[in-house]
A and B are shown apart, each in its own frame.
Chain A
């Protein structure tokens, strides 16, 4: 019996060390993602004035829409954090509800962004119209793609939590997911400022 207890404890500390490594590794991955966004921001900063005779940001963007999207994403980041607190307490029901709210807020954000894009394209302002529009669509679109991956990740994780319950593996998954989600909101702060607000400065 003592052997089994010792072996279990040893496995625990082994797994705790593994979790620690994974969280750190994911953090480093987020740093690389940040750097990739940095290039897209640098390109936007250099090229946003090159409208090739076409419209600039202040003629195309809607400030209220940008604010709405910002508030949606910020709130979803907040609810995600509340979901994590529930996860650490092992409260499966609360985890599911808070993350559902996060998911819906994120989905609404994505819907609004897709609508904005399709409206622009419908009016003839596409990625190939000018360097400004290329950098706008790629910067904001890459963020949108990340949001989509995050929603997909969230959806599948919630399904697994519902089926398998809230074990250590699932809590770790949710921690990584919430790191990702918070990080996406931080990147959005800069998109909101540099793309949408700066267009009207």
Chain B
């Protein structure tokens, strides 16, 4: 009876090791804190109506940022734990992590960073910015948008749930290669959590990809042909087209691994005719395009940043777009370079080695176009531009390392060494993460309505660059010295330790950089230097035509587009007079949350073999989906008169702010003083005691 009710869940699944207890305690404390604040300020209804059930891509974008930021800290903690272990675990000392725990950490680190940090931030940026850039009010399917977000959240919860129930995550590496990930060699629940967190959020990504494609192809402002679209939109389009092409491959492969583990199938098992090499083939067929999916929107961000901060048109729009398309086409033909050493032989390796080198060509074209854009521009070194320059330095190193690895004989020496690890981190951090930072700092005034604190932003940037170089340049050297990846212990005779210690120090500097970024955001909000024009950088693209932060309908009237850099054109011609028209907006919906909740329960039930819950959850998903699709009242209309009133109210509010706010940015010391004063005042004032 008990087995029927709760499957394979036992008391033993509850936390009983130091890190599961610690993790659970941390989550519980955070949850209690949030619940307390919401209850004390009586904001439950507000949270539900304004944020959780919202279909506004701006709100969904901000929610993506918050969740992704939270996961960045978690993934970063994993990294620090690994660096610490590797710095001290030499000869007789074995550090503080068991080998199995270390393996779970590097697996979780990889999954979290790729799926939940990078994809989360990218989806946040695309959600917020692309509709504004193309002059749309919303995405093509607001329902799919909220559903995609909540499926992502379900994946996030699933990947953290093992702390509370189960006690183990996959210890297989971030892609869980078979047969290690099969039921024979990983009998615990770790790999099952791995499967379902990726499966659920992967389906969310596919749905989001479809949504973004629909939006970009079908909802552009009148006059905006494809060849007049801004660069970030192009990068997002190429990325999302790739996403819908390859995420189904991941979905299928995860299902096959699930069938092996749950039903005893023989797809990737060592016996019964299974073929583990097929798993490696399939998973990398998805895995390689995935990194290009992450980096193409970042390329789009950099194109925007470089043009705005060089105050010039992009050097060659056509080359840039064709290069982005080229990258996304070639990205689908290189995946075997991840397993040159698996034994496919010279002919196969040669083909994929050549294709891998070919993909460096369009990437270089992009670099050349952006650097050419800077040439003879009047460059401003605001924070976004700094991130772009950091990208140029770091991504180039990573890219060159990639070309080395693309040569199969060289890869036979360097495969799975720290050289490889340094290569992909240079590209992912230098490309994707710096792109995300550039995007967030660039569009920060648009999203929040406040200008950025540049001073602390510079400190954060330099911490990142110095920390990154200290962490990853030694890693290239270690790779040449023969250090393999995922090492949790080594002999001092190898000579690795000084490098590992250097890497740990670099990691700590990066952590300081992250802390400073958080400080930068808070300081910017405290300073309240409002962006009253909506156009703080003298931008070129349409998103700057809306207010900062935009109203929920984005534009009171959809602008007419006649050229590239549409907003720049509008400013030259003189901004058009305000027109008001009826606006149709989608209603909020909780269906996304409900479906995602059932999907989460289904995944949970699969992990613990609770069969009745599987059935109930699937029925729940179907029931909510049917209810939603047969609901014909999903929109409401705001009349032109109402729009006019909203706009006029906003104008009145904005003119009340100081229009010329040239106060100098607060520095770090000033920030600490302000925060201390805030807490001291709060403690001294009797308000909270008599509430």
Direct contact of A and B (CB under 8 A): yes
CA distance A138 to B274 in the complex (A): 14
- Asked if A101 is at the interface of the complex by the 8 Å CB criterion, the answer is no
When C-beta atoms are compared, the residue in chain B nearest to A157 turns out to be B630
- Residues in B neighbouring A14, C-beta threshold 8 A: 584
Q: How far is the CB of B320 from chain A (nearest CB, A)?
A: 25
Q: What is the interface of chain B mostly: helix, strand, loop, or mixed?
A: helix
- Inter-subunit contact A134/B259 (CB<8 Å): yes
Q: How far is the CB of B336 from chain A (nearest CB, A)?
A: 15
- Residues in A neighbouring B213, C-beta threshold 8 A: 25, 28
Question: Which one of B141, B584, B630 contacts A160 once the chains associate, using CB atoms below 8 Å?
Answer: B630
Which residues of chain B from 116 to 147 have any CB-CB distance to chain A below 8 Å in the complex?
A: 140-141, 144
Interface string of A125-136 (1 = CB under 8 A from B): 001111111110
- Inter-subunit contact B141/A22 (CB<8 Å): yes
- Residues in B neighbouring A7, C-beta threshold 8 A: 582
Contacts A46-B278, A130-B273, A131-B273 given; does A39 touch B267 at CB 8 Å: no
- Asked if B217 is at the interface of the complex by the 8 Å CB criterion, the answer is yes
- Asked if A52 is at the interface of the complex by the 8 Å CB criterion, the answer is yes
- Residues in B neighbouring A173, C-beta threshold 8 A: 629
Which residues of chain A from 91 to 145 have any CB-CB distance to chain B below 8 Å in the complex?
A: 127-135, 137-138
Interface string of B254-279 (1 = CB under 8 A from A): 01100110011111010111110010
Q: How far is the CB of A2 from chain B (nearest CB, A)?
A: 14
When C-beta atoms are compared, the residue in chain B nearest to A31 turns out to be B244
Q: What is the interface of chain A mostly: helix, strand, loop, or mixed?
A: helix
CA distance A42 to B253 in the complex (A): 11
- Residues in A neighbouring B265, C-beta threshold 8 A: 127-128, 134, 137-138
CA distance A156 to B628 in the complex (A): 13
- Inter-subunit contact A52/B253 (CB<8 Å): no
CA distance A51 to B248 in the complex (A): 27
Q: How far is the CB of A120 from chain B (nearest CB, A)?
A: 14
- Asked if A162 is at the interface of the complex by the 8 Å CB criterion, the answer is no
Contacts A52-B272, A160-B630 given; does A135 touch B267 at CB 8 Å: yes
- Inter-subunit contact A21/B219 (CB<8 Å): yes
- Residues in B neighbouring A187, C-beta threshold 8 A: none
- Residues in A neighbouring B247, C-beta threshold 8 A: 32
- Asked if B577 is at the interface of the complex by the 8 Å CB criterion, the answer is no
Contacts A32-B210, A35-B249, A152-B622 given; does A131 touch B582 at CB 8 Å: no
- Residues in B neighbouring A132, C-beta threshold 8 A: 273
- Asked if A50 is at the interface of the complex by the 8 Å CB criterion, the answer is yes
- Asked if A43 is at the interface of the complex by the 8 Å CB criterion, the answer is yes
Question: Which one of B214, B245, B256 contacts A24 once the chains associate, using CB atoms below 8 Å?
Answer: B214
Which residues of chain A from 1 to 45 have any CB-CB distance to chain B below 8 Å in the complex?
A: 7, 10-11, 14, 17, 20-22, 24-25, 28-29, 31-33, 35-40, 42-43
CA distance A126 to B144 in the complex (A): 37
CA distance A77 to B252 in the complex (A): 26
- Asked if A199 is at the interface of the complex by the 8 Å CB criterion, the answer is no
Which residues of chain B from 82 to 112 have any CB-CB distance to chain A below 8 Å in the complex?
A: none
Q: How far is the CB of A65 from chain B (nearest CB, A)?
A: 23
- Asked if B632 is at the interface of the complex by the 8 Å CB criterion, the answer is yes
- Inter-subunit contact A28/B263 (CB<8 Å): no
When C-beta atoms are compared, the residue in chain A nearest to B219 turns out to be A21
- Inter-subunit contact A20/B218 (CB<8 Å): yes
- Residues in A neighbouring B14, C-beta threshold 8 A: none
- Residues in A neighbouring B373, C-beta threshold 8 A: none
Interface string of B351-377 (1 = CB under 8 A from A): 000000000000000000000000000
- Residues in A neighbouring B144, C-beta threshold 8 A: 25
Contacts A25-B211, A32-B247, A46-B275 given; does A39 touch B282 at CB 8 Å: yes
- Residues in B neighbouring A63, C-beta threshold 8 A: none
Question: Which one of A28, A129, A134, A160 contacts B210 once the chains associate, using CB atoms below 8 Å?
Answer: A28
- Residues in A neighbouring B253, C-beta threshold 8 A: 39
Q: How far is the CB of B477 from chain A (nearest CB, A)?
A: 40
- Asked if B206 is at the interface of the complex by the 8 Å CB criterion, the answer is yes
CA distance A38 to B248 in the complex (A): 9
Q: How far is the CB of B276 from chain A (nearest CB, A)?
A: 11
Best-surrounded residue of B211, B245, B246, B266 (most CB of chain A within 10 A): B266
CA distance A135 to B141 in the complex (A): 35
CA distance A43 to B283 in the complex (A): 12
- Residues in B neighbouring A22, C-beta threshold 8 A: 140-141
CA distance A35 to B248 in the complex (A): 6
Q: How far is the CB of A163 from chain B (nearest CB, A)?
A: 10
- Residues in A neighbouring B274, C-beta threshold 8 A: 47, 50, 131, 134
Best-surrounded residue of B144, B274, B622 (most CB of chain A within 10 A): B274
Q: How far is the CB of B640 from chain A (nearest CB, A)?
A: 10
- Inter-subunit contact A156/B263 (CB<8 Å): no
A-B contact pairs, 30 of them (CB 8 A): A7-B582, A14-B584, A21-B214, A24-B217, A25-B141, A28-B244, A29-B210, A32-B206, A32-B244, A32-B248, A33-B248, A36-B252, A37-B252, A39-B248, A39-B249, A43-B267, A43-B278, A43-B282, A50-B272, A50-B275, A51-B273, A127-B265, A128-B263, A128-B266, A129-B266, A134-B265, A138-B259, A138-B265, A156-B626, A173-B629
Residues of A at the B interface (CB closer than 8 Å) are 7, 10-11, 14, 17, 20-22, 24-25, 28-29, 31-33, 35-40, 42-43, 46-47, 50-52, 127-135, 137-138, 152, 156, 160, 169, 173
**In the complex, given contacts A21-B214, A152-B622, what are 6 additional A-B residue pairs having Cβ atoms less than 8 angstroms apart?**
A24-B218, A36-B251, A50-B275, A133-B266, A134-B265, A160-B630
